[in-house]
Structure 1
Amino acid sequence: MSGTDVSGLTQLGTSVEQPASPEEAVLERVPSGHSGQDYVVRFTAPEFTSLCPMTGQPDFAHIVIDYVPGDWLVESKSLKLFLTSFRNHGSFHEDCTMKVATRLVDLLEPRWLRIGAYWYPRGGIPIDVFWQTGAPPEGVWIPDQGVAPYRGRG
């Protein structure tokens, strides 16, 4: 077992109910064991789901989150629960994407974070949402997110 302090975590290793909303979801963090070194952490959620705020119909996205940690790492089970809490949440694509990004930035205070949310078409138009905190730290390898633009049948 690593020397990472997990004593303050409330969800890891326990049975946890699915949060009813993103506001109720608890995001947790652990100390980075490599503070002072720049490296990229990537989370990919290829089956992100939320609800259209107008129709209540499901919306789907492939979300890629890249960040360069500062002193903190997001605990992955809490991130998974947070992301799945959007399943019953009605919000536009842009709002969902920014809610994920800003919650992570507020929790982690990363050296850099970007999110790419590749939404499947609604009304025949795919909506992709991209955001980052600023320029990545110099010298850090930032891989392409690897998600092709939507092409339909073409």
Structure 2
Amino acid sequence: MTDDESKKTAPRYLGQDSALPESPETAELDYVPNPRVGELYLTRFAAPEFTSLCPVTGQPDFAHLVIDYAPGETIVESKSLKLFLGSFRNHAAFHEDCTVGIGKRLFDEMQPKWLRIGGYWYPRGGIPIDVFWQSGEPPKGLWIPDQGVASYRGRG
């Protein structure tokens, strides 16, 4: 078995005490074989408490991320994804960089049939920012529900 194959079959974090990685660059994502390879279906991860840091002020930024993907030969192991997303807690980057970077890394490494990410960022300076990225056209016949995150309305 090659190193690439072992990364896709032997989760490193599952069932283990695991500290948050120091940065998104050092975080390692685990992928396991898709138990329904050949089936067209959608998997959704919602991270309603995602945090990162503003690269200018160093203040915390908060977002509700929704990641949808149609698996190919592998799926991402959820604990490794949680640790990867948590590694942004002390990472300074703009909303666009965080959102698109997460989507592209998952797509490039996991190689799903299709992936999209919605980053619904809470207001900074009175302006909420929503960032969306997808890998291309979704496969024909894939049921894609609405991401279910309402536009920001504040208290009104």
TM surpasses 0.5: yes
After TM superposition, list the pairs within 5 Å mapping 1:51-90 onto structure 2.
51-90=53-92
Task: Choose between structure 1 and 2: higher helix proportion.
Answer: 2
- 1:147 is matched with 149
Gaps of 5+ in 2: 1-7
In the TM superposition, structure 1's runs of 4+ consecutive aligned residues that sit over 4 Å from their partners are: none
The code of the aligned residue for 1:34 comes to: R
* Distance (Å, rounded) in 1 between the aligned partners of 2:116 and 2:143: 13
- 1:17 is matched with 19
* Distance (Å, rounded) in 2 between the aligned partners of 1:70 and 1:89: 30
- 2:36 is matched with 34
Alpha-carbon distance, 1:153 to partner: 2.4
Tell me the matched-pair count. 149
* Distance (Å, rounded) in 2 between the aligned partners of 1:85 and 1:135: 30
The code of the aligned residue for 1:10 comes to: R
CA RMSD of aligned residues (A): 1.0
* Distance (Å, rounded) in 2 between the aligned partners of 1:15 and 1:63: 25
The code of the aligned residue for 2:79 comes to: K
SS in 2 for 1:114: strand
Q: Kindly indicate whether residue 103 of structure 2 is the aligned counterpart of residue 101 of structure 1.
A: yes
- 1:3 is matched with none
Percent identity of equivalent pairs: 66
Gaps of 5+ in 1: 1-5
SS in 2 for 1:87: helix
The code of the aligned residue for 2:71 comes to: P
